[in-house]
């Protein structure tokens, strides 16, 4: 297999106005701080604040914008940025150590999991993008089959379901097929000379905006979150339907003299 450079980009989407807002922001703040304490992103990005300051406590009047950024000093690219996208906080991080370190997807995935911890109620969704640039397109299928930290619930056939997007990148989704999944894992491969385009599509868009792929993932995460809420309420719907069935049986048992809008005859007699 020809050499390839591997990186991990993560987009974490957290509701800015949920009913558990204080707890959600506390967990988000903890994750942001872990980017510094656990992942070494203690440096300041020029012209961008290291600390979100008042951005954490915004009352919702701020529509969108970059709140803060941090970077790891030294070689490689390890950075994180925090944005407000209307009613969602977006914490995005890229982990791409120097190639001399010999660190691949599996270790980068482990490092992020150790730093960020698990999910919590306010998380709308999280996307882990496993990126690689390779010189030999013939090695792409093998690169996908080996070393990708796929979701354990992902079907084995995910390796055969790659597509080429209009931007020219090869993309696979190594996620569970359950529609309510809060986490998605995508593999994105590009030619070595497409580094700038790959970064602009997956990590940082023009003007440090949320990139196109992340925008799609954000809106998809909102939809999947709503689906989870709807699924969670299925029990209430079942109870309502059971109650309707029992009432219909009760009405049929007490007598056939039902007059629309006036209630059954036994109720009218008891109320008179």
- The model scores a pTM over 0.85: no
In tens digits, the chain (272 residues) has pLDDT values of 234 679 999 999 999 887 788 888 889 999 999 999 999 999 998 878 787 766 666 655 555 788 899 999 988 899 999 999 888 999 999 999 888 888 899 999 999 999 998 878 788 999 999 999 887 655 667 767 778 999 999 998 898 888 999 999 999 999 998 888 889 999 999 988 899 999 999 998 887 889 999 999 999 999 988 888 877 766 666 666 777 777 777 777 776 555 555 555 555 544 44
**Cβ–Cβ under 8 Å, residues 188 and 105:** no
| Domain ranges for the chain | 4-231, 243-271
Angle formed at CA 266 by CA 260 and CA 268, multiple of 5 degrees: 65
Return the percent helix, strand and coil in the chain, to nearest 5.
40, 25, 30
């Amino acid at each position: 297999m020809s050499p390839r450079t591997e990186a991990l980009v993560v987009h974490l989407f957290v509701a800015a106005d949920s009913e558990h807002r204080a707890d959600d922001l506390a967990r988000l703040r903890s994750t942001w701080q872990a980017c510094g304490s656990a992942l070494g992103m203690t440096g300041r990005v020029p012209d961008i604040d290291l600390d979100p300051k008042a951005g954490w406590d915004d009352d919702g009047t701020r529509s969108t914008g970059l709140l803060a950024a941090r970077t790891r000093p030294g070689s490689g690219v390890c950075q994180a940025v925090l944005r407000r996208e209307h009613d969602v906080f977006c914490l995005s991080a890229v982990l791409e150590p120097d190639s001399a370190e010999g660190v691949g997807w599996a270790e980068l995935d482990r490092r992020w999991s150790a730093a960020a911890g698990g999910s919590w109620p306010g998380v709308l969704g999280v996307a882990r993008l496993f990126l690689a640039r390779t010189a030999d397109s013939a090695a792409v299928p093998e690169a996908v089959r080996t070393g990708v930290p796929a979701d354990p619930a992902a079907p084995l056939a995910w390796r055969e379901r790659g597509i080429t997007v209009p931007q020219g990148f090869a993309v696979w989704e190594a996620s569970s097929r359950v529609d309510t999944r809060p986490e998605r894992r995508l593999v994105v491969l590009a030619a070595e000379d497409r580094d700038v385009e790959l970064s602009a599509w997956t990590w940082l868009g023009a003007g440090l905006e949320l990139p196109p792929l992340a925008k799609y993932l954000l809106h998809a995460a909102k939809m999947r979150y709503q689906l989870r809420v709807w699924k969670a309420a299925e029990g209430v719907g079942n109870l309502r339907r059971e109650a309707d069935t029992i009432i219909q049986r009760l009405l049929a048992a007490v007598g056939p003299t039902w007059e629309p809008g006036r209630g059954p005859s036994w109720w009218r007699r008891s109320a008179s």
